[in-house]
Amino acid sequence: MKERVYKFSHILGMKKEDNHRINVWSSPRNISTAFMYAWAQRPDTTVVDEPLYAHYLDKTGVQHPGQSEILASQNKDGNQVVQKIILGEYSTKVALFKQMTHHLHQLDESFLGMTDHVLLIRDPRRIIASYSKVREHPDMRDVGVKQQWELFQKLERMGKLAAVVDARLLLSNPKEMLQKLCDTLRLEFDERMLSWSAGARPEDGVWAKHWYENVHNSTGFRPYVEKQVTVRPDLEPLAAECMEYYQKLLDFALR
């Protein structure tokens, strides 16, 4: 199977045709950490946890749990992060970057055309119900669903969107969905992506202790369970606006 030839290989200092740089743009309180753990099981893949987090906090002034520790743990200059990490050199043929869509803030976005991209989406009512337990008053900038729709349109025009993956569909059949995603990315599926050891992992960002408790108790993708979620009345307008963008994205999700 012939691999895609990337025009930016000279930037990476790599000559092989099978090198992949994949940005996975997620909303918060999605299954993005489990998704990252799945890819970390592949011996041909390096994963990086939210490399633009400190940049986002520094540029916006938004307050998050573990703020000072996060800012101290990463380069706060997002454009340097792009050049040194996202477009950096890796010993593996695949490098996958778990990203939050709202972290794409005040950046030179030309790198978007130099990598492939996956959008990881989730029902926004579930996002908001979960996220509001950590940050009491989230807004559209926190949730990132509108930004996902805007990014979708931009990547479509650039021809760099590999896939849209919906959390419910992925959890309903992890193996089939990961196989389809790997096919889309022109990579071989690896059965090891379906399970991992419980507990913290070396790829975790320093913020893991604030956000990753549930996934640290997992050893694979947990089966999807349909359940009623309750959003506080004051957050219903946000949920309704987010649902409009989510439904548009869902139309393009892998099935």
Number of domains in the chain: 1
pTM: 0.89
Confidence category of residue 28, pLDDT binned at 50, 70, 90: confident
Question: 92 near 45, Cβ under 8 Å?
Answer: yes
Pairing of strands 20-26, 116-121: parallel
Cβ atoms < 10 Å from Cβ of 36: 23
Asked if the model's pLDDT at residue 3 lies above 90, the reply is no
Q: Residue 48: inside a domain, yes or no?
A: yes
- Give me the pLDDT at residue 12, please: 36
CB 100 within 8 A of CB 28: yes
Q: Model confidence over 116-158: pLDDT tens digits?
A: 999 999 999 999 998 888 778 888 888 889 999 999 999 999 9
Q: Which pLDDT does position 9 carry in this prediction?
A: 32
The model's pLDDT over 50-96, given as tens digits with 9 standing for 90+, comes to 999 999 999 999 988 899 999 999 999 999 999 999 999 999 999 99
Mean pLDDT of the chain, nearest integer? 90
Is 112 inside any structural domain? yes
Using one digit for the tens of pLDDT, what is the confidence trace for 171-185? 999 999 999 999 999
Could you tell me if 207 and 65 are in contact, meaning their C-beta atoms sit under 8 angstroms apart? yes
Model confidence band, residue 18 (pLDDT cutoffs 50, 70, 90): low
The answer to the question of residue 3 being in a domain is no
Q: What is the pLDDT of residue 55?
A: 97
CATH code, domain carrying 182: 3.40.50
pLDDT of residue 137: 87
Over residues 10-35, mean pLDDT: 74
Could you tell me the residue range of the domain that residue 181 belongs to? 9-250
C-alpha torsion angle, residues 78, 82, 85, 89 (rounded to 10): -160
Q: To the nearest 10°, the Cα dihedral for 152, 204, 222, 119?
A: 0
**Dihedral through CA 224, CA 49, CA 198, CA 223, nearest 10?**
10
Residue 175 lies in a domain: yes
Q: Does 1 map to a domain?
A: no
* 63 located within any domain: yes
Q: Residue 255: inside a domain, yes or no?
A: no
Q: Which tens digit of pLDDT belongs to each residue from 186-236?
A: 999 999 999 999 999 999 999 999 989 999 999 999 888 888 888 999 999
* Domain-located, residue 241: yes
